[in-house]
Amino acid sequence: SSLSHSSSILIVGAGTWGCSTALHLARRGYTSIAVLDRYPVPSPISAGDDVNKIFERLSCTDESDINSSVSAKLSEAAYRCWKDDPIFSPYLHETGIISAAITPEALRDVEAGLGYIDGEPWIKLNSKDDFRATMPSGVLTGDFPGWQGWWRKSAAGWVHARKSMESAASEAKRLGVTFITGEQKGRVTSLLYQSGDVSGAVTADGTQHRADRTILSAGAAATEIFSMKDQLRPTAWTLAHIAMTVEELKLFKNLPVLFNAEQGFFMEPDEDNHELKICDEHPGYCNWTSPGVSTPFAKHQVPKESERRIRDFLRDTIPHLADRPFTFARLCWCADTPDRNFLISKHPDHPSLLLAVGGSGHGFWYIPAIGGFIVDALEDKLDSQIKECYKWRPETASHRNWQDKQGRFGPPGSNRVMDLGDVYDWTSIEQQQNERT
219 near ligand FAD, rule: CB under 6 A: yes
Per-residue interface string for the shown chain with ligand FAD, residues 317-336, x marking contact by CB under 6 A = ---------------x-x--
Residue 169 touches ligand FAD, criterion: CB under 6 A:
no
Beta bridge partners of 259: 99, 265
Selected binder of ligand FAD within 14, 102, 191, 216 (CB under 6 A): 14
Q: Smallest distance from the beta carbon of 215 to ligand FAD, in angstroms?
A: 11
> By CB neighbour count within 10 A (0-12 exposed, 13-18 middle, 19+ buried), where does 89 fall?
middle
Is 54 an interacting residue with respect to ligand FAD (CB under 6 A)? yes
Bridge partners (DSSP) listed for residue 33: 9
Nearer to ligand FAD, 166 or 316 (CB): 166
Phi, psi of 234 (to 5 degrees): -60, 125
As measured in angstroms, the least distance from the Cβ of 96 to ligand FAD is: 14
- Residue selected from 7, 43, 263, 287 as contacting ligand FAD according to rule CB under 6 A: 43
The type of residue at 408 is: R
Cα separation, 146 vs 127, in Å, equals 8
Nearer to ligand FAD, 151 or 237 (CB): 237
Of 272-291, which residues contact ligand FAD (CB under 6 A)? 279
User: Total residues contacting ligand FAD (rule CB under 6 A)?
Assistant: 38
- Strand pairing category for 353-357 and 343-346: antiparallel
Is residue 77 a contact point for ligand FAD (CB under 6 A)?
A: no
Give the Cβ contact number of residue 16 at 10 Å: 31
> In this chain, which of 169, 239, 369, 382 binds ligand FAD, going by CB under 6 A?
239
CB of 32 to ligand FAD, least distance (A): 19
> Quick one: which of 101, 87, 24 has its CA closest to 370?
24
Distances (CA, A) of 17 to 99, 180, 424: 26, 16, 33
Site for ligand FAD in 352-411 (CB under 6 A): 357, 359, 361-365
255 binds ligand FAD, rule: CB under 6 A: no
Q: Which residue is nearest to ligand FAD (CB)?
A: 15
CA-wise closest residue to 264 among 98, 105, 71: 98
Pick between residue 132 and residue 337 the one whose CB is nearest to ligand FAD. 337
Is 66 within 8 Å of 73 (Cβ atoms)?
A: no
Question: Which among 22-30, 44-52, 371-379, 393-401 is the span making contact with ligand FAD, rule CB under 6 A?
Answer: 44-52
Is residue 36 involved in binding ligand FAD (CB under 6 A)?
yes
Give the shortest CB-247-to-ligand FAD separation in angstroms: 27
Q: How far is the CB of 137 from ligand FAD (least distance, A)?
A: 27
What lies within 8 Å, CB to CB, of 36 at 6+ separation is: 10, 11, 12, 13, 14, 180, 181, 186, 187, 188, 201, 203, 209
Binding mask 412-431 for ligand FAD (x = CB under 6 A): --------------------
Rule CB under 6 A: choose which of 72, 218, 329, 344 binds ligand FAD. 218
Going by C-alpha positions, the residue among 23, 4, 8, 12 that lies closest to residue 176 is 23
Cβ contact 193:246 at 8 Å: no
Interaction of residue 217 with ligand FAD, rule CB under 6 A: yes
Minimum distance, C-beta of residue 299 to ligand FAD, in the bound complex (Å): 13
Which SS3 state, helix, strand or coil, does residue 169 take? helix
* Per-residue exposure over 264-300, b if at least 16 CB sit within 10 Å of its own CB, e if not: bbbbbbbeeebbbbbbbbbbbbbbeeeeeebbbeebb
Please identify, using beta-carbon distances, which residue of 132 and 201 lies nearer to ligand FAD.
Answer: 201
Alpha-carbon distance 334 to 358, whole Å?
8
Binding site for ligand FAD (CB under 6 A): 12-18, 36-39, 43, 45-48, 53-54, 186-188, 217-219, 221, 225, 237, 239, 279, 332, 334, 357, 359, 361-365
